Amino acid sequence: MNKQVAVEDLGLMDFGVCWEEQERRFQGILDIKIRNRRENAGLVTPNYFLFVEHPHVFTLGKSGDKTNLLASKEILESRGASFYHINRGGDITYHGPGQIVGYPILDLENFFIDIHKYLRLLEEMVILTLADYGLKGERSKGETGVWLDVGTSRARKICAMGVRASRWVTMHGFAFNVNTDLSYFDLMIPCGIRDKGVTSLQAELGRAVPTREVKARLLHHFMELFEAETQAV
């Protein structure tokens, strides 16, 4: 079992380019696993954790409803945004500047074989990070992600999640609103949920927060929760 995780910050990257990079690494791990099973090769599978920030983009999961995107192609273009229908779970979400996107590409057989536990630990990573800033993040029953004020009329999502897994290898991940322009969420029904809002760390604290600082906190909690080690890249 390889519990080392190679962490990379890709900076600002087009969603389509980053998707191809994810697929390349995802397929590389699958290829190793297939060879190990066919040839008993005993090769070690790598794990990756990619941080990235995307230009304005809306993505729709494979089972999502496109009517949850409320803007026409022309409106999206006028706002400098693009659209992708992709192969993760979940409905529609938005990525943009000021949002921390994390893509763990892991062989879960290096950690545990439980996709539900994987999602809960990603949520816990965000909940612990919010606690570092004095905020109480929560889960909402039946709704993957992290929320504030669950069970009240002020319930609002601060972190969306959607993943894909094959042969226990993961891709896609989470989108944590830090200093995000929340007006872009008006162009969709976030995650297909009509009766709850969205928020950001900046909106909750009343100040901008350095993304480098938040990434360091997220990574610290991730490594502890997954009992993993950072691998030098």
How far is it, in rounded angstroms, from Cα 125 to Cα 157?
15
How far is it, in rounded angstroms, from Cα 10 to Cα 50?
7
Per-residue confidence (pLDDT) for residue 64, from 0 to 100: 82
Q: Are 88 and 163 in contact (CB under 8 A)?
A: yes
Max CA pair span of the chain: 57
Per-residue confidence (pLDDT) for residue 143, from 0 to 100: 87
- Residue 81, annotated ligand binder? no
* Domain with 32 in it: 4-231
**Burial letters for 130-163: b for 16+ Cβ neighbours within 10 Å, e otherwise?**
beeeebebebbeebbbbbbebeeeebbbbbbbbb
pLDDT (tens place) for every residue of the chain, 233 residues total:
899 999 999 999 999 999 999 999 999 999 999 999 999 999 999 999 999 999 999 998 887 888 888 889 899 999 999 998 888 877 888 999 999 999 999 999 999 999 999 999 999 999 999 999 999 999 999 888 999 999 999 999 999 998 999 999 999 999 999 999 999 998 987 655 556 789 999 999 999 999 999 999 999 999 999 999 999 76
Q: Which residues pair with 148 in a beta bridge?
A: 156
Q: What is the pTM of this model?
A: 0.93
Catalytic residues: 191
- Residue 162, annotated ligand binder? yes
Q: Are 187 and 156 in contact (CB under 8 A)?
A: no
Per-residue confidence (pLDDT) for residue 192, from 0 to 100: 53
Per-residue confidence (pLDDT) for residue 194, from 0 to 100: 55
> What CATH code is carried by the domain that includes residue 64?
3.30.930.10
Q: Which residues pair with 82 in a beta bridge?
A: 57
- Residue 95, annotated ligand binder? yes
Q: Which residues pair with 160 in a beta bridge?
A: 175
Per-residue confidence (pLDDT) for residue 190, from 0 to 100: 64
Per-residue confidence (pLDDT) for residue 114, from 0 to 100: 97
How far is it, in rounded angstroms, from Cα 108 to Cα 111?
5
- Residue 89, annotated ligand binder? yes
Closest CA to 203 of 145, 167, 139, 154: 154
Q: Are 105 and 170 in contact (CB under 8 A)?
A: yes
Per-residue confidence (pLDDT) for residue 89, from 0 to 100: 74
Per-residue confidence (pLDDT) for residue 65, from 0 to 100: 84
Per-residue confidence (pLDDT) for residue 193, from 0 to 100: 55
Q: Are 58 and 188 in contact (CB under 8 A)?
A: yes
Per-residue confidence (pLDDT) for residue 195, from 0 to 100: 61
Q: How many domains does the chain have?
A: 1
